[in-house]
Chains A and B, each alone.
Chain A
Amino acid sequence: MPTPYLQMTGVRKRYGGVTALAGADFAAEAGTVHAVLGPNGSGKSTLLKVLTGVVEPDAGEVRLEGRPLRPRGPRDTLEAGISAVYQELSLVEDFTVVDNLVLGVEPRRWGLRDRAQARRIALPWLERFADAFGGRVPADERVLGLDPGERQVVEICKALVRDPRVLVLDEATASLRRRQVEVLFDVVEELREAGVLVLFITHRLAEIRAVCDRATIMRGGTDVTTVTVGELPEQELVELMVGEMAAVGAAPSTAREQVRLEVRDLSGPRVREASFQVRAGEIVGVGGLQGQGQGSLLATLFGAERRHSGTVLVDGREVRPRSPKQAVRSGLAYVPGNRGTQGLALGRPILENMALPSLARRALLGVGLSRRREVEAARSAAGRMATKYGSLDDPVATLSGGNQQKVVVGKWFATEPRVVLMDDPAKGIDVRAKAELFGVVRDLAASGVAVLVSSSDDRELVEVCDRVLVMFEGRVVDDVHGERLTEETLVAAAMRVTGTEVGS
């Protein structure tokens, strides 16, 4: 048997008491797209970080083209032609997109940075991905102003600029919208033709079927099996990924008569005259093409972005939060779109992150905390989201990506909100946990909460929402519900609007 292009054998890694990898084996061929699948915390990211030299394994061997690879850091593997997009974004917010793309590989001329050359390397990729940036080439924009999906695309370009032979994409599509994913997949196809090995971690079934040739399934730190994707029905693939799972049927709507959230002519930095209602017990989606103000709408409602004009009523009472603090007081909760920079204090313990929004409720006289009560509250929230953690005192950064995301959502339960605003809450969460998350959202709604949720994945919106508002350039341009609520209509609604608006 010929040796595989990439081979990892017996890779082990443990952190304190947590075993991330328990002797995993992995092999992949050049010119293929190879998926790495499995539930949250199963060791996917750790395995690929061992490959890229970010994580030093306790044991195990990595061979590329038959030659052992013993990197002392990502720099060494970069030289070997391995380049990666990690789950945690790594961009420098204050730098421009071009500066980020060439960071670490800046072309130099006579010892000085060669800006012209940097642009020559970076621009082709940005132009290639222009559609993913909504048709523009944001070369000189600062990363600070980009939304999570666009940042992700910049990360991908950054990996591509390095001209890899092995490209690692660790949930690089988690916050991408349909169009962005399409552009990426075109590029991935080309790379495959050119003989590049693409390692692809995702929790989205449709993506696995669309581009992946082979798939290795991980569970509990080891590889369970490796399959050829085309030969396997979807149901079996899901079972391999997360075990047996009851099919999630569309749950009946729990919407009541009473209007809980009413928004009239709301305008903000990227929202224009949005008007809609959400009833108690109703789950309303916010969809549309990428970057049409979905995130901004939620942030503006929560007081995190400045409201220019408009009225917002909760249970018939006007609320004008000038800060999230006031919004929380009026019964709002907000799951932000960017977990690393907005959702978590990564260096602080899981316990504190969970407790933060609801501290005052449990504190004696608003001040004194009881550790026991905090631990109980955090455990119950973590349990509700099926979060996998070692100890509540560990920094939240030690959790796997999906489990971190569960904390970002779970920390709001204890505030007993009346209106829940969620910006792409299921990104990076595995198939089973996603079903559980939306089950929890359903329960919340059933108890009378109004839910407004945006998602980068139209399929999610169709599965979980009673109704979907389609946004375009900051306006709510369509309200898709009932029979019309299918993925196809959502796409069409977003596209058709594009056509008419551009034409007029």
Chain B
Amino acid sequence: MSTVERPRAAEQGDNAPGRATGVLRRLARDPIVVSGVAALVLWGVAALVSPAFASWSQIVTLLVLASFLGVIAIGQTLVVIAGGEGIDLSVGATATLAAIVASRHMDGSNEGFVGAVALALGAAAVVGALNATGILVFRVPPLVMTLGMISVVYGFIRLYTGGRPAGSAAPALRSLVGGDTVAGIPGVLWLWLGLSVLVIWLLRRTSYGWRLYAVGGNPTTAYLSGVNPRLVKASAYVLSSLFAGVGGLLLLGYTQTVFLRLADPYMLPSVAATVVGGTALIGGIGGYLGTIIGAILLTVLDSFLRVLQVGGGGDAPRQIIYGLVLLVVLSAYGRQKRLRQ
């Protein structure tokens, strides 16, 4: 989505080598291709360092880990595309909230499964609605609003759980996420695939998607063309929280029990996966395919750092390096934003 295809270039009768380098140059500038290649190279290096990395089961594990980030970053992608400095830093907190609500109501049994899921997603949607209200009605900058929302959500979780989250995942959820279903591939990956197709369709082939891009590209034009930009942006924030909620549920299915900061580590990576995949922070540019690749790239990087056991196997050095990489990535793309304007 982020690359604008130019079929007419192919129709041109320029000499073959010139055309080939032209295509190469365009590919080299396509963020999806760049991120994809980077992910493959990292994975290759990791496999050289530790051959176990290349095993089928390890690959599946990597993808499962990437799927949580990928699902949480769906909403991030929508919000960033919608523009107006759009960003949702509360996705981590929202995912945690959904997991905690669901785990309490499932309490390790399948009985209240549907109700628990509905309640969890409902709670997530409320967070999204609050974000949207703050940003669009009270004109709080998205960064500030969603950052503030993190504290609100965690405060609420503390009240709700009394500091000790209760319950555990329903067996149905557990088997959905972890259990083998088709072709030795765990259900969560099929689910991610399904959601991806849905989101990519939503962005590319629905009037909602086209309006979202138009609003991100130029809200005034969208407004004067009969679109309600505020409604479109508000829906992006609500969807963002909803998908974060889904991500939280999947995490719950994976970890089976919850803890207070379950999905916290997904906050910045969700933004990073989005921008690395070519969705520009200025809005109106990008798509979910890139975010998928971005999520996989970041997950490979994280696992690679674990394999390297930098600094003698402790977790702290890895965290520092991963954090630094995120910072570099985000600031690099942030600078690009300024250059474009």
Contact = CB atoms under 8 A, between A and B. Distances in A.
Contacts of A336: 224
B208 interface: yes
B207 A366 contact: yes
Given A347-B285, A411-B225, A356 B206 contact: no
Interface string B278-300: 00000011000000000000000
Interface in B200-214: 205-208, 210-211, 213-214
B229 to A, nearest CB: 10
Interface in A346-389: 346-349, 352-353, 355-357, 359-360, 363, 366-371
A344 B4 contact: no
B260 to A, nearest CB: 39
Given A336-B224, A367-B208, A348 B8 contact: no
A371 B205 contact: yes
A154 interface: no
A186 interface: no
A356 B220 contact: no
A394 B4 contact: yes
Contacts of A329: 226
Interface in B1-57: 4-12, 22
A395 B205 contact: no
A359 B212 CA distance: 12
Contacts of A393: 4-7
Contacts of A346: 217-218
Tell which of B214, B217, B228 has the most Cβ of chain A within 10 Å. B217
A355 B214 CA distance: 10
A328 interface: yes
Nearest to B223: A324
A356 B225 contact: yes
Given A323-B228, A341-B220, A342-B220, A360 B6 contact: no
B206 A367 contact: yes
B207 A369 contact: yes
A345 B217 contact: yes
Interface residues of A, number: 43
A328 B222 CA distance: 12
A375 B233 CA distance: 26
A369 B210 contact: yes
B305 interface: no
Given A367-B208, A393-B4, A16 B226 contact: no
A482 interface: no
A327 B225 CA distance: 10
Interface in A390-443: 390-391, 393-395, 411, 415
Interface core residue of B206, B207, B220, B227 (most chain A CB under 10 Å): B207
A347 B280 CA distance: 12
A17 B6 contact: yes
B222 A345 contact: yes
A325 interface: yes
Given A348-B284, A352-B210, A368-B206, A395 B218 contact: no
B61 interface: no
Interface string A80-100: 000000000000000000000
Counting chain B CB atoms within 10 Å of each CB, the highest count among A302, A357, A411, A415 belongs to A357
Contacts of B336: none
Nearest to B228: A325
A343 B221 contact: yes
A345 B213 contact: yes
A26 interface: no
B205 A369 contact: yes
Contacts of B5: 391, 393
A109 B2 CA distance: 45
A129 interface: no
Nearest to B10: A17
A391 B226 contact: no
Contacts of A355: 210
A371 B206 CA distance: 10
A356 B218 CA distance: 12
A133 interface: no
Contacts of A344: 218, 221
Contacts of B205: 368-371
B197 to A, nearest CB: 14
Interface string A92-113: 0000000000000000000000
Nearest to A357: B225
Contact of A16 (B6, B214, B220, B224): B6
A251 interface: no
A323 B227 CA distance: 9
Given A16-B6, A16-B8, A359 B285 contact: no
Contact of A324 (B7, B9, B214, B224): B224
Interface in A295-352: 302, 304, 323-325, 327-329, 334, 336, 341-349, 352
A71 B11 CA distance: 32
Which of B4, B10, B206, B221 has the most C-beta atoms of chain A within 10 angstroms of its own C-beta?
B221
Given A17-B12, A336-B224, A344-B218, A394 B6 contact: yes
B30 to A, nearest CB: 14
Contacts of A359: 207, 210-211
Contacts of B214: 345, 348, 352-353, 356
Contacts of A363: 206-207
A423 to B, nearest CB: 11
Contact of A325 (B10, B208, B227): B227
Contacts of A352: 210, 213-214
A300 B20 CA distance: 53
Nearest to A363: B207
A18 interface: yes
A289 to B, nearest CB: 25
A338 to B, nearest CB: 9
A353 B284 CA distance: 12
A416 to B, nearest CB: 13
Contacts of A324: 223-226
Contact of B8 (A343, A347, A367, A390): A390
Interface string A231-243: 0000000000000
A352 B211 CA distance: 9
A304 B223 CA distance: 8
A369 B5 CA distance: 19
Closest 7 CB pairs of A and B: A345-B217, A328-B226, A17-B8, A345-B218, A17-B12, A359-B207, A356-B225
Given A353-B214, A394-B6, 5 more contacts: A328-B225, A341-B218, A345-B284, A353-B221, A369-B207
21 contacts: A16-B6, A16-B22, A302-B224, A304-B223, A328-B225, A334-B224, A343-B224, A345-B213, A345-B217, A345-B284, A347-B284, A347-B285, A348-B213, A349-B4, A353-B214, A356-B210, A359-B207, A360-B207, A369-B210, A391-B7, A394-B6
